[in-house]
Structure 1
Amino acid sequence: MIGKGKAISHTRASMMYGWNQEKNAEVVFSQNLAGENPSEITSEFRFIQQMNQNCQKNTLSFVLSPTIEDGRNLNQKSLKEICERFMKEMKLGERQAIAFVHKDKDHKHIHLYVNRIDFNGKAYNDSFIGKRSQQAAEKVAEQMQLTTVKQLQVEKEFNLRDIRSEIKRRHDITMKQFQPKTFKEYIEVMKISKIEVIPCINKANKLQGFRFRFDGFNLKGSEIHRSMSIGNIGKQMAATVGVKNFIKNNTELFMLNKAVSLPTKLAANILKHAVKREIKRGFGF
């Protein structure tokens, strides 16, 4: 479960967002409040907030997001328990508070609003509230046997390792079997392998690199494997079709509905690599 928190001044606007019926919002937790709509709740908050005129951002806004799988199994009672445990971990004590659950998407999540001013007029210390919110959410997840952020990170890294390996495998097959002569052709052939190759083009319309989208992941070539940087892909092509043909075929390409060219430095590096390779083979230039 992920927890986010911050102090805000726009109480009524946030409360109206939380109580948005278009998002199938439902009240899952309420403490020391009697109001039945955002305006009434805001008025009750302000009545207490008048006891502390120095505090401008006088409402605390939290978002608690269980995983999609956990969210499917959480009923109203469990969602209320999350709020109660979170309030306790954050040491918020007896304050005005209200929470809504949003179900407009598969990812069920809670919006919790707490009056920063307590009944004695004292403001809650919001130092490092973002970090403390996440730590509190972690503890609540552990207490209720929900998935924690650390578990999500481990799972993501495990999946990422498999994704990198699969993209690299399909790249290798593409380079070996189809032997593309241009970067544009490489993009088209990779599409056959269900890999979307996204050109990264700078303001000068120079091709800087590629990102690879596959199975919900979007990664830079260098994040997958060093051989999949644009420079190394270019070197592979040049080794297959010859430097002269490679430079000729890739001088100007049409990508993303505009003419794109190779950076001079990239072309020079590919040429330099080819020259070194030929000299090493003993052919010379």
Structure 2
Amino acid sequence: MGKSISHTGASMGYGWNEEKDAKVVYREYLAGDDPKEITREFKIIQSQNHRCEKNTLSFVLSPTIEDGQELKEKELKEITERFIKEMKLQERQAIAFVHQNTSHRHIHLYVNRIDFDGKAYKDSYIGKRSQQAAERVAQQMGMTTVREVQQEKLNEVKIVREEIKQIHEKVITEMRPKDFDQYIKFMKQNEVNVIPSIGKSNQLRGFRFGYQGQNLKGSDVHRTMSMGRIAERIGFDKNAAQMIGNGNTMPLLGKTVGVSPNLAANIAQKAIKLAIKKTIGLGMEI
């Protein structure tokens, strides 16, 4: 994470907070021993450029929890030095602290945006550029990159989506729920927590699916798992479906909730069609 800031002293004071067990791992062209002295030294150089208001660059460098636990002070300093080089921020006042009171160690780096000639560092797209620089540093040092973490998470979600879809198909085809309550109950028996999404007007808007630490919207699991698509495959009782169609409401987990007119009509029509098919089937048997 990277940005330009104007509140140098306050931000640096946070970085130096002893409660966070902060330790200085890098400093350049600075002599001060506390945030006030460092800020004062920054301001001496910054006074050469009155037009630049956000005159300090603030970065947070966060290795993964696993990588961070293995890094020594020397390596944390190397990360900072490599990052500064990638961002072309050498020959400027800079100081970096590492926060190590939690399992997720991270570095706070502050660099004077104004150089010794009074010129301001261009901060356009600073956030994106700092991400790309951190990615290169991680690759250089053999650490896990953000892109790799994101891909791993995507792979995990993909597996979870597939498993939820398989359980959904099993419940629909083998257990044949007669309403949403039964569907939720049967999914729960298969370790999937179906969470109704109910709006402020007490109208049922859809379902979310909790499984293996993930919480996904139905349509994000699969396009066939929106609330309407699920309703199409549930064998609603004719009388219950007609009541839903007449009042645009339905019982759900012990409460009465509203449903959209379209969903109510679809449920009622489907129930009537199923009833007609059953009647025709009985007539043929006779």
Q: Map Cα deviations across residues 92-121 of structure 1 (whole Å, 9 max, x no partner).
A: 121111112222332222111111111111
> Partner letter of residue 98 of structure 1?
I
Q: Please give the residue correspondences for 1:25-40 in structure 2 after superposition, counting only pairs within 5 Å.
A: 25-40=22-37
Task: Quote the Cα distance in structure 2 between the aligned partners of 1:220 and 1:246.
Answer: 25
Equivalent position to 1:132, from 118, 129, 133: 129
Q: Any stretches of 5+ residues in structure 2 without a counterpart?
A: 282-286
The corresponding residue for 1:145 is 142
Equivalent pair of 2:241/2:268 in contact (CA under 8 Å): no
**Larger Rg belongs to:** 2
Residue 194 and residue 103 in structure 1: after superposition, are their counterparts in 2 closer, same or farther (change >3 A)?
A: farther
Equivalent pair of 2:179/2:236 in contact (CA under 8 Å): no
Equivalent pair of 2:29/2:94 in contact (CA under 8 Å): yes
Equivalent pair of 1:235/1:274 in contact (CA under 8 Å): no
Task: Quote the Cα distance in structure 2 between the aligned partners of 1:185 and 1:34.
Answer: 70
The corresponding residue for 2:284 is none
Equivalent pair of 2:238/2:275 in contact (CA under 8 Å): no
The corresponding residue for 1:55 is 52
Equivalent position to 1:251, from 249, 252, 270: 249
Q: Any stretches of 5+ residues in structure 1 without a counterpart?
A: none
SS at match of 2:134: helix
Equivalent position to 2:80, from 69, 79, 83: 83
> Partner letter of residue 245 of structure 1?
A
Task: Quote the Cα distance in structure 1 between the aligned partners of 2:256 and 2:271.
Answer: 26
Equivalent pair of 1:201/1:208 in contact (CA under 8 Å): yes
Q: Please give the residue correspondences for 1:139-178 in structure 2 after superposition, counting only pairs within 5 Å.
A: 139-176=136-173, 178=175
Question: Is 1:19 matched with 2:16?
Answer: yes
> Partner letter of residue 9 of structure 1?
S
**Higher RCO, 1 vs 2 (CA within 8 Å, ≥6 residues apart):** 1
Q: Alpha-carbon deviation of 1:197?
A: 2.6
Q: Please give the residue correspondences for 1:65-144 in structure 2 after superposition, counting only pairs within 5 Å.
A: 65-144=62-141
Equivalent pair of 2:241/2:267 in contact (CA under 8 Å): no
> Partner letter of residue 236 of structure 2?
V
The corresponding residue for 2:207 is 210
Residue 233 and residue 36 in structure 1: after superposition, are their counterparts in 2 closer, same or farther (change >3 A)?
A: same
Residue 265 and residue 114 in structure 1: after superposition, are their counterparts in 2 closer, same or farther (change >3 A)?
A: same
Q: Alpha-carbon deviation of 1:270?
A: 3.3
Task: Quote the Cα distance in structure 1 between the aligned partners of 2:35 and 2:94.
Answer: 12
Equivalent position to 1:10, from 7, 20, 23: 7
Equivalent pair of 1:178/1:189 in contact (CA under 8 Å): yes
SS at match of 2:30: coil
Q: Alpha-carbon deviation of 1:178?
A: 5.0
Equivalent pair of 2:231/2:267 in contact (CA under 8 Å): yes
Q: Alpha-carbon deviation of 1:166?
A: 1.7
Residue 123 and residue 247 in structure 1: after superposition, are their counterparts in 2 closer, same or farther (change >3 A)?
A: farther
Structure-1-length-normalised TM-score: 0.86
Structure-2-length-normalised TM-score: 0.86
What fraction of aligned residue pairs are identical, expressed as a percent? 56
Q: Alpha-carbon deviation of 1:202?
A: 2.2
Question: Is 1:263 matched with 2:222?
Answer: no
The corresponding residue for 1:242 is 237
Residue 275 and residue 65 in structure 1: after superposition, are their counterparts in 2 closer, same or farther (change >3 A)?
A: farther
